[in-house]
Amino acid sequence: MALQLRLLGTTSDDGKCPTLYEDFATGDIVVQGYTVTDAEDVAQLQNVLDGE
């Protein structure tokens, strides 16, 4: 089933990320942004699954 997204907001003034959405069906929050790859930044995140 396709996501049913509602725009929550963005700090973008020129079409870049980040942007937040809510999935109507699940209440999940979808974050549109750049992939975090710096090891020190990733180490601060919790419960990150493969593919997230």
Q: For residue range 1-52, what is the model confidence (pLDDT) as tens digits?
A: 788 999 999 987 777 778 999 999 999 999 998 888 898 998 999 998 877 7
Q: pTM here?
A: 0.68
CA dist 17 and 42 (Å) reads 18
Query: Who's near 7: CB < 8 A, 6+ residues apart?
Result: 19, 20, 21
Q: Which of 29, 3, 2 is nearest to 18 (CA)?
A: 29
Residue 5 DSSP class: E
**What pLDDT, on the 0 to 100 scale, is given for residue 30?**
92
Cross-strand partners of 9 = 20
Q: In this structure, are residues 27 and 4 in contact, taking their beta carbons and an 8 Å threshold?
A: no
Tokens encoding 21: 């959405």
